[in-house]
């Protein structure tokens, strides 16, 4: 009997109990999440219209039309140039056309709305001479938007370049800031220049570092997924932007995009898109404390749409935001209207 009450035996018994407890929790969580996943839409619908890209991590599949992608009669169309839209674009703009290249994430791409309801498409509806190229893509951070424009966007002659972001797009530049399961480019300053450290970006099946394996095991486990639904996230906590590694890289990106725009005789504008949480809180700390002073110092015109969305009544906010937090067609229309007015202030050639 003595051996069964020894300290090693107690430790072993405790470990067995811990393992059994985890298995029970894993099974219960798995059953609950299976029901949730069966009744919910995919969290990242871009998985169904994107493929791997060795520079960007993922990119739109060309020549793709997905009926009812975001819901009934809400279709998604990708042209042969991997850009959201129903037509292709010539490198040179047509005479009398004011062309705007819009870069950003899912808010620019128009997640949740039809092809004609994105703010780039609605900009065209506001003035017949405007032509927009929608280079927004779901899940992209500032670095990916910058890389895509440099690789594929420079072929297009344009009058204006607009970078529109939400605050999360900067934190997506961190190694642990990915909102998808796909590997993404990791950017850093090398001798003052923005460089991709992991090009070619690994495929989802080829990214097998120890840390990534552990992250995926946790994220794929039922406990990990259920923990996220409760707000439990094992990723490194966010710090003020000036203490984050992305701050100097973002500044270098802004400087380069401004230089490119000056050399190409196009206007470069920055647009901050507020989330519903920021509107309800009445503040966008990242923009107010870091972004706006930085952009002012770099002499880059910047527009925050936080005041415009805060002016909406609670009922109007419900019609301007979708349930997943993206802008509805009405929210996209508000962006288009305010962005065009801001563009007219800073570019005398913008359509009146």
- Name the DSSP class of 202: P
pLDDT value at residue 35? 53
- 30 and 56 in a single domain? The answer is no
In 3-state terms the chain splits into helix, strand, coil percentages (rounded to 5) of: 45, 15, 40
Give percent of the chain above pLDDT 70. 81
More confident residue, 121 or 44: 121
Q: Tell me the two tokens of residue 160.
A: 């204006």
Q: State whether 2 and 75 are in the same domain.
A: no
Say whether pLDDT at 140 is over 70: yes
**pLDDT number for residue 231:** 47
- Find out whether 162 and 221 touch, Cβ atoms under 8 Å: no
Return the pLDDT at 7.
76
User: pLDDT per residue over 67-120, tens digit each?
Assistant: 988 999 999 999 999 999 999 999 999 999 999 999 999 999 999 999 999 999
Residues 199, 216, single domain; the answer is yes
Q: Radius of gyration over alpha carbons of the chain, in Å?
A: 23
Model confidence at 145, in pLDDT bands (50, 70, 90)?
Answer: very high
The answer to whether residues 286 and 303 belong to one domain is: yes
Give the global pTM: 0.81
pLDDT at 175: 76
Judgement on whether residues 35 and 49 belong to the same structural domain of the protein:
no
Indicate whether 105 and 179 sit together in one domain: yes
Give me the pLDDT at residue 12, please.
77
**Taking 80 as the threshold, does the pLDDT of residue 299 lie above it?**
yes
Residue 98 and residue 14 in one domain: no
Asked whether residue 148 is assigned to any structural domain, the reply reads yes
Residue 329 in domain: yes
What is d(CA 31, CA 26) in angstroms, rounded to the nearest whole number? 9
Question: What is the model's pLDDT at position 174?
Answer: 86
Instruction: Judge whether 352 lies within some domain.
Output: no
Give the residue from 295, 275, 293 showing the smallest Cα distance to 283: 275
What CATH number is given to the structural domain containing 138? 3.40.50.1110
Q: Which residue has the tokens 């219209």?
A: 49
- Lookup: tokens for 61: 């599949």
Residue 41 has pLDDT above 50, yes or no: no
* Of residues 18 and 86, more confidently modeled: 86
Residue 323 falls within a domain, yes or no? Answer: yes
Lookup: tokens for 174:
């961190």
- Mean pLDDT throughout 118-132? 98
Read off φ and ψ for residue 7, nearest 5 degrees.
-60, -45
Residue 305 scores a pLDDT above 50:
yes
**328-341: pLDDT as tens digits:** 999 999 999 999 99
User: How would DSSP label each residue in 299-338?
Assistant: T--EEE-HHHHHTS-HHHHHHHB-TTSSB-HHHHHHHHHH
Q: How confident is the model at residue 177 (pLDDT cuts 50, 70, 90)?
A: confident
Indicate if 117 and 73 belong to the same structural domain.
yes
Exposure of 132 in the CB half-sphere (CA atoms within 13 A): 30
- Lowest mean per-residue pLDDT among 23-27, 40-44, 95-99, 224-228: 40-44
Q: Under a CB-based contact definition with an 8 Å cutoff, are residues 162 and 273 in contact?
A: no
In a domain, 169, yes or no: yes
The predicted pLDDT at position 11 comes to: 77
- End-to-end CA distance of the chain: give it in Å, rounded: 92
Domain residues for the domain of 29 are 1-40
Q: Pick the range with the lowest mean pLDDT from 102-106, 171-175, 279-283.
A: 171-175
d(CA 30, CA 37): 10
51 and 2 inside one domain: no
pLDDT exceeds cutoff 90 at 142: yes
Burial label for 228, CB within 10 Å (0-12, 13-18, 19+), is middle
Per-residue pLDDT tens for 153-163? 999 999 999 99
Residue 351 in domain: no
Is there a single domain that holds both residue 13 and residue 50? Answer: no
Q: How large is the average pLDDT for residues 291-317?
A: 98
**308 shares a domain with 261:** yes
What's the sign of the alpha-carbon dihedral 54, 60, 63, 64? positive
The tally of domains found in the chain comes to 2
Whether residue 115 is contained in a domain is answered as: yes
Q: Which pLDDT value is given to residue 324?
A: 95
Burial (CB count within 10 angstroms: exposed 0-12, middle 13-18, buried 19+), residue 159: buried
In eight-state DSSP terms, residue 84 is: B
Scan for tokens 């035996």, then name that residue: 9
Q: Are residues 4 and 123 in the same domain?
A: no
């Amino acid at each position: 009997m003595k051996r069964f009450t020894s300290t090693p035996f107690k430790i072993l018994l405790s470990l067995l109990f811990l393992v059994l407890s985890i298995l029970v929790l894993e099974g219960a969580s798995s059953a609950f999440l299976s029901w949730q996943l069966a009744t919910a839409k995919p969290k990242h619908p871009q998985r169904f219209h994107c493929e791997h890209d060795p520079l960007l991590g993922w990119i739109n599949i060309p020549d793709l039309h997905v009926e009812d992608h975001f819901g009934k009669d809400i279709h998604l169309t990708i042209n042969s140039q991997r850009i959201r839209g129903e037509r292709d674009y010539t490198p040179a703009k047509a005479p009398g056309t004011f062309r705007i290249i819009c870069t950003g994430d899912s808010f620019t791409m128009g997640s949740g709305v039809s092809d004609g309801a994105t703010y780039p498409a609605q900009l065209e509806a506001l003035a017949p001479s405007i032509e927009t190229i929608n280079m927004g893509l779901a899940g992209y951070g500032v670095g990916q938007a910058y890389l895509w424009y440099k690789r594929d966007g420079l072929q297009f002659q344009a009058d204006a370049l607009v970078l529109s972001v939400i605050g999360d797009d900067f934190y997506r530049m961190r190694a642990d800031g990915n909102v998808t399961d796909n590997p993404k480019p990791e950017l850093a300053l090398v001798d003052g220049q923005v460089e991709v450290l992991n090009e070619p970006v690994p495929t989802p099946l080829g990214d097998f570092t120890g840390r990534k394996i552990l992250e995926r095991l946790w994220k794929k486990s039922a406990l990990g997924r259920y923990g996220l639904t409760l707000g439990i996230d094992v990723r490194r906590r966010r710090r003020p932007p000036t203490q984050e590694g992305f701050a100097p890289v973002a500044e270098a990106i802004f400087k380069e995009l401004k230089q490119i725009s000056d050399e190409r005789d196009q206007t470069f504008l920055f647009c901050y898109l507020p989330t519903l949480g920021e509107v309800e809180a009445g503040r966008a700390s990242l923009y107010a404390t870091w972004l706006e002073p930085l952009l002012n110092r770099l002499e880059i015109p910047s527009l925050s749409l936080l005041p415009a969305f805060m002016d909406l009544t609670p009922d109007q906010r419900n019609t301007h935001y979708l349930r997943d937090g993206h802008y509805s067609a009405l929210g996209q229309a508000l962006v288009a209207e305010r962005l065009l007015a801001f563009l007219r202030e800073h570019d005398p050639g913008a359509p009146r």
